[in-house]
Amino acid sequence: MVTNQRTSRMALSPDTRKRLITAALVAPASAWLFVFLVLPFIAIVVFSFGERAPEGGYQAAFTFAQFANLGSRAAAFKNTLVLAPIGSFVCLLVAYPVAYYLAVKVSPQYRLLLVSLVVVPFWTSLLVRTYAWMYILGARGIPHLLEFVGIENVRLLNTPGAVLLGIVYGYLPLMIMPIYVSLEKLDRRLLEASADLGARPLSTFFGITLPLSLPGVMTGVALVTILLLGEYLIPQLLGGGKVFFIGNALVDLFLQSRNWPFGSAIAVTLVVVVVIVLLVAMRIAWRVAGARQVDLV
């Protein structure tokens, strides 16, 4: 018996043993994702083809009526698909100079301190920070100060602009960090060589710095955009029920209207949009990486 066990162990090749060890290490995480991610999504897909029960909830059926009714939530889709990309773009415009300054201009002895200040807002709940903006943009905040200079009847809260401001403030660190990491790895000798060859700073930026930092830019844009597609809190508080995102529509359908099939159809559509955004971002990143390799060759 002992001889058979030893023979079976010796029969396993090193590659097979590596695969078994890898499978054993990956199995707990895979099981976790399957139970808490895949199975709930399968349930949502099943619900999306059902009907609303008379008392609310889910009733078994097979119909595409929920997907055909997506147009009734066109405002939520429009606000999400317009404000989310705009918010990501504004975050990028603000984040890139900050990340460039931290990675290229600041001396190493102060860099860690300044990077820590970028992360500090995450130490406070987003809910508390959004409530602070509600006060700043509310009647007793900036509009009240504007009355002293003769500008009256200014409404900032419960507008798309307020939601956009909250988005930029809340998600800006998530845009800064990937760009900073990409710029921090930039070979400074390339910048020095460009300057020695007589290139102007602007030409160096568009010819070397920006192309080499595009992977970080794409990572930040994809990360912020995907999170914004499911955003609920900021539109709810700063939009005041007048600027709805898809996340707000889902909360309304699942918790108030109790129309689970229709909410599931919207959730499935949102997942499809997120997957499309990821695929587009990955395709652009691959093209950029391929172009960089060709340039280097």
CATH value at residue 261 = 1.10.3720.10
| 266: in domain | yes
Does residue 296 have a pLDDT over 50?
Answer: no
Q: Considering the domain boundaries, does residue 247 fall inside one?
A: yes
Q: Residue 258 pLDDT more than 60?
A: yes
Q: How confident is the model at residue 187 (pLDDT cuts 50, 70, 90)?
A: confident
Band (122; pLDDT cuts 50, 70, 90): confident
Q: What percent of the chain has a predicted confidence (pLDDT) above 90?
A: 42
Residue 271 falls in which region: left (phi positive, over 0), alpha (psi -120 to 50) or beta: alpha
Range of lowest pLDDT (7-11, 192-196, 214-218): 7-11
pLDDT class of 244 with cuts at 50, 70, 90: confident
| SS3 label, residue 66 | helix
Q: What is the pTM of this model?
A: 0.82
What proportion of the chain, given as a percentage, has pLDDT over 70? 92
Both tokens of 293, joined, read 């390799």
Q: State whether residue 71 is helix, strand or coil.
A: helix
Query: Residue 153 falls within a domain, yes or no?
Result: no
pLDDT tops 90 at residue 234: yes
Q: What is the mean pLDDT of residues 84-106?
A: 92
The full DSSP string for 96-114 is HHHHHIIIIIS-HHHHHHH
Listed range (73-77, 140-144, 185-189, 231-235) with the worst mean pLDDT: 185-189
**Number of domains making up the chain:** 1
What's the confidence (pLDDT) of residue 267?
92
pLDDT score at 99: 94
Residues 270-294 have pLDDT tens digits of 899 888 877 887 787 677 656 554 4
- Specify if 93 maps to a domain: yes
Distance CA 148, CA 145 (A): 6
Helix (H, G, I), strand (E, B) or coil at 54: coil
Rounded alpha-carbon distances, angstroms, from residue 36 to 29, 40, 45, 194, 200 = 11, 6, 15, 51, 53
Instruction: Please report whether residue 97 resides in a domain.
Output: yes
- Calculate the alpha carbon distances from 225 to 42, 235, 267 in Å: 24, 15, 16
**235 touches 247 (CB < 8 A):** yes
At residue 288, the pLDDT reads: 64
Q: Does residue 140 lie within any of the structural domains?
A: no
pLDDT at 173: 92
- Residue 177: which pLDDT band, with cuts at 50, 70 and 90? very high
Is the pLDDT at 210 greater than 90? The verdict is no
Q: Is residue 40 part of a domain?
A: no
Report whether 173 contacts 119 (CB < 8 A). yes
At residue 64, does pLDDT exceed 90?
yes
Mean pLDDT rounded to a whole number for the chain: 86
CA 202 to chain centre: 30
| Position 270 in a domain | yes
Q: Which two tokens stand for residue 204?
A: 């160096």
Which structural domain, as residue segments, surrounds residue 248?
74-122+170-296
pLDDT of residue 66: 93
